């Protein structure tokens, strides 16, 4: 039994290489998705530098702008490659190139081996959480979001206001109860395979493609259809301030980490106020 690591990498490729080698040294296969914004020459050089590792793969590339479907598509493709390439993987851990292991990887492997049917994914409903801010809680599932929050905030806000004014509501697919939570999860092979191979996946993908911040709701909602045992928490340590901006951890955090926390979100991009936050 092994733990497979899916890494979503956007910047800091030197750091991502170090992290990938750390996972590899512990016996974990790695599938990496490199954001399409990374220039082709830089990407090719990065792949060559890791060519000495026999259990590292690279998935089809997508553009992964914050809050857009590209992050889900990248995760789907990398997860499919993981499942197809490594038959002994029993848990798949989604991480970023900036997620740094805080504890020995062997502890994580043993912890998951003792819980072979447990999925670790934060997935409460909007009614269950106090940390959505900016007004887009249930509306993120019933409105459409054709404009980028980052690149076109004016049109984004106007589109939301217009849909509210005309009382527009999207239909949520039958059987789906929207859940949301951290993007960073660890799913069993059975649950992840069921999500990716569901015959209704085209319906779910078409719906979540237009949900606000789908990487924080797609797997979180669909895992509820298939999992037999969910612990609604992430094994990745991440903390946000009152504005929704992530804390940047240093190695001193390791001195008082405890429990089965595996990773630290050491660095991250700005997380805007209208998204989820933790405290």
> Looking at residue 103, what is its pLDDT?
85
Residue 263 has pLDDT above 70, yes or no: no
Read off the pLDDT band of 27 (50, 70, 90).
Answer: very high
Q: Is residue 276 part of a domain?
A: no
Q: Which residue has the higher pLDDT, 131 or 201?
A: 201
Q: Is residue 239 part of a domain?
A: yes
In the three-class reduction of DSSP (H, G, I as helix; E, B as strand; rest coil), residue 179 is classed as coil
pLDDT digits (tens, 9 = 90+) for 184-202: 999 999 999 999 999 999 9
Q: Is residue 97 part of a domain?
A: yes
CATH assignment of the domain containing 37: 3.90.550
Q: Is residue 235 part of a domain?
A: yes
Domain ranges, residue 110: 2-265
Residue corresponding to tokens 């779910």: 204
Read off the pLDDT band of 82 (50, 70, 90).
Answer: very high
Least confident of 65-74, 215-224, 243-252: 243-252
Contact status, residue 51 vs residue 133, Cβ threshold 8 Å: no
Instruction: Using only the alpha carbons of the chain, give its radius of gyration.
Output: 18
> Looking at residue 196, what is its pLDDT?
98
Residue 275 has pLDDT above 90, yes or no: no
Q: Is residue 80 part of a domain?
A: yes
Arithmetic mean of pLDDT, 164-169:
94
Q: How far apart are CA 206 and CA 200, in angstroms?
A: 10
> Looking at residue 136, what is its pLDDT?
72
**pTM, whole model, 2 decimals?**
0.85
Query: Which residues on neighbouring strands pair with residue 276, listed in sequence order?
Result: 132
Read off the pLDDT band of 127 (50, 70, 90).
Answer: confident
Q: Is residue 224 part of a domain?
A: yes
Q: Is residue 198 part of a domain?
A: yes
Average pLDDT, the chain: 85
Q: In total, how many domains does the chain have?
A: 1
Q: Is residue 275 part of a domain?
A: no
> Looking at residue 239, what is its pLDDT?
66
- Name the residue among 188, 179, 261 with its Cα closest to residue 215: 179
Least confident of 60-74, 138-152, 228-242: 228-242
- Neighbouring C-alpha atoms within 13 Å toward the C-beta of 39: 3
Query: Which residues on neighbouring strands pair with residue 230, listed in sequence order?
Result: 119
Q: Which residue has the higher pLDDT, 66 or 39?
A: 39
In the three-class reduction of DSSP (H, G, I as helix; E, B as strand; rest coil), residue 232 is classed as coil
């Amino acid at each position: 039994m092994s733990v497979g690591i899916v890494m979503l990498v956007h910047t800091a490729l030197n750091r991502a290489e170090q992290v990938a080698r750390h996972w590899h040294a512990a016996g974990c296969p790695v599938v990496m998705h490199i954001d399409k914004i990374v220039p082709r020459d830089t990407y090719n050089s990065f792949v060559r530098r890791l060519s000495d590792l026999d259990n590292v793969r690279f998935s089809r590339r997508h553009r992964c702008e914050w809050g857009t479907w590209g992050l889900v598509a990248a995760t789907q493709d990398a997860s499919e490659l993981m499942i197809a390439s490594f038959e002994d993987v029993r848990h798949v851990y989604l991480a970023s190139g900036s997620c740094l292991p805080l504890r020995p990887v062997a502890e994580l492997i043993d912890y998951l081996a003792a819980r072979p049917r447990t999925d670790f994914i934060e997935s409460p409903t909007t009614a269950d959480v106090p940390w959505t801010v900016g007004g887009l809680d249930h509306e993120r599932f019933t409105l459409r979001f054709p404009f980028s929050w980052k690149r076109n905030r004016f049109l984004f806000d106007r589109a939301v206001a217009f849909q509210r004014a005309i009382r527009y509501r999207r239909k949520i697919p039958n059987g789906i109860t929207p859940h949301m939570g951290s993007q960073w999860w660890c799913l069993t092979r059975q649950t992840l395979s069921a999500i990716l191979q569901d015959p209704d996946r085209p319906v779910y993908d078409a719906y979540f493609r237009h949900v606000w911040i789908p990487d924080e709701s797609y797997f979180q909602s669909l895992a509820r259809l298939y999992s037999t045992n969910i612990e609604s928490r992430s094994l990745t340590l991440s903390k946000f301030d009152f504005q929704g901006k992530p804390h940047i951890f240093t190695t001193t955090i390791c001195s008082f980490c405890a429990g089965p926390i595996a990773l630290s979100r050491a660095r991250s991009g700005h997380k805007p106020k209208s998204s989820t936050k933790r405290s």
